[in-house]
Amino acid sequence: MPAYSGPWTKPLPEPFQRGDRIYVPDDSDEATYGDYRIFDLDRNYIESGGGRELRKYYDPRDVFTPIAEPPEYSTVVEKLVDALKEEGITSYVHTYCLFRRHRWEVHPRGHEYSELDPKPIETALVLIPSRYKDDAESSVMIGRIEAIGDEAFGATGLTGRTVVSFADIGDYDPVPEDDPREGKGWYMYSVWPGASIGVKGRPSNGTLGLYLKEKREGGAIFGITSALWIAGLLRDDSDSEGPGNEVVPRVPKDVVLEQPSEDDAKKYELIPSYRRFGISNDGLDREFATTTEFSEYGVVDGTYHDYALLKVNRDRFGGNFFSAKDSELPEPPTGRLVDVLASDEPLKRITLPEGGTSSGRAKGTLSSFPALVKLESMNQPLQLTFAYQYGRKATRSRDDATIGAGGVIGSVAVSFGGEREHREQAAAMIVGGVREIDASYSNLRLCFLVDLQEVLERIKARWGLDLQIYDGKK
């Protein structure tokens, strides 16, 4: 069972009672889900909330907890995959978890209010794209899918239920021309990992992952990012090839990438560091890199690949900086996610470097169990490692930025957990994400991860390039 779901036995630090609720001040360093932890009269944890914003926050360890799938659960998965295909849904996320559903109820006096399930329930949580929400038949469709899942639970003898919810599921985040959001990037003479980059003349952003270097003496230095967000902006999949009978699209060569992107340059006109000099993004050469022939996105032998190597302009090249907690890692991570996930650390973390994005450093919790993911770029659903956040809005703190927005696709996340000297570090590329899980779960965000060492092995096998994480400075 997740933390805080059972009876609470520790002494209450200065609690106060209001009605049938006990409020416990939460002034710890990890008080990220509200100013109070709220318990019932039997001292069972209910929710977290309070604070100046008078909003409720829910602890991820109690609302959403990924759990291992029992063998019988495979039948539920098969039925739900068939149901989603029958409904014509081409992208989705499916995870087995303990989940507290958020329900809207009508008070006897006529006003609406929301309540969570009294306790977490074993749930087949299925997330489908928000675009289906506009369909007049969406509620009927959701009812059909949930009924099929619930029937499968009953047939296997498992105790559980199916919950289908809308979400923004994406491989990249297109930005409309009239989008009112402020820019999240500014000009960086030396571009660091985490910086927002974009295709020249096109709106929207991706992210620079980090820098790689050939292992041979005098080898070339490359930047790496996601191929899919570039292809999504270009809408050009004509350059396609792949091993066997699987077609793996590639992005065209020599596409110019800028930092900041076209969108950021328009919306964030002045550079903060140079505002007093009146220097604007429009007055600078923003060209940062060009795409190379070394790129792929798609499924090969049951593994999802999504990467693009970049030829970086030497005068814009920056060193690799990896941020773990509040410090730079002493050396690049060399471990693998599988080793991190197999460790005894009870709560495994990832962090994204702050880089050049104003959204700040992002942190999330690694799930010990994969999710079944079907993105538009996949010809079949795959099991992918993921990390999640649940708590305050991403804009609330520079140390609590979102991991689920499309703009972070291409980022490289660094894992950590426990004391730094007692754990292995690993790096992973973010190849997709989920944000804004319906109105009731807008603070639950996911990102999908591919082990960076596996990416490097694929590049070597496909292109003959033996690469390592660049460990020098500019």
- Write out pLDDT tens, residues 344-362: 666 677 877 654 344 556 7
Cis ω for the linkage preceding 108 (within 30 of 0): no
The strand pairing partners of 164, in sequence order, are 126
Q: So what's the pLDDT on residue 185?
A: 56
| Residues contacting 314, CB < 8 A, separation 6+ | none
Positions of the chain with pLDDT lower than 50, given as ranges: 1-12, 28-32, 51-57, 175-184, 236-247, 270-271, 273-278, 324-327, 355-358, 392-399, 418-422
Q: Please report, to the nearest 10 degrees, the dihedral formed by the alpha carbons of residues 224, 228, 229, 230 taken in order.
A: 70
Contacts of 356 (CB under 8 A, 6+ apart): 185, 186, 188, 191, 192, 194, 195, 196, 259, 260
Q: Are 97 and 64 in contact (CB under 8 A)?
A: yes
User: pLDDT tens for residues 260-310?
Assistant: 887 777 665 544 544 444 455 556 788 999 999 999 988 888 889 999 999
Between CA 248 and CA 246 the distance in angstroms is: 6
Q: What angle (nearest 5°) sits at the alpha carbon of residue 59, between those of residues 20 and 96?
A: 115
- pTM, full prediction: 0.79
Cα–Cα distance for residue pair 368/282, rounded to 1 Å: 45
* pLDDT number for residue 8: 42
The pLDDT assigned to 49 comes to 65
Map out the domains of the chain as residue ranges: 16-57, 65-169, 171-370+385-474
Q: What is the phi-psi region of residue 119: left when phi exceeds 0, alpha when psi lies from -120 to 50, beta otherwise?
A: beta
186 three-state secondary structure: coil
User: Containing H/E element for 339?
Assistant: helix 337-341
Torsion of CA 463, 464, 470, 473, to 10 degrees: -90
Residue 95, pLDDT score? 96
Residue 27's contacts (CB-CB under 8 Å, 6 or more residues apart) are 35
Provide CATH code, domain 65-169.
3.30.300
Please state, as a whole number, how many other Cβ atoms lie within 10 Å of the Cβ of residue 110. Answer: 6
Cα(375)–Cα(298) distance, integer angstroms: 10
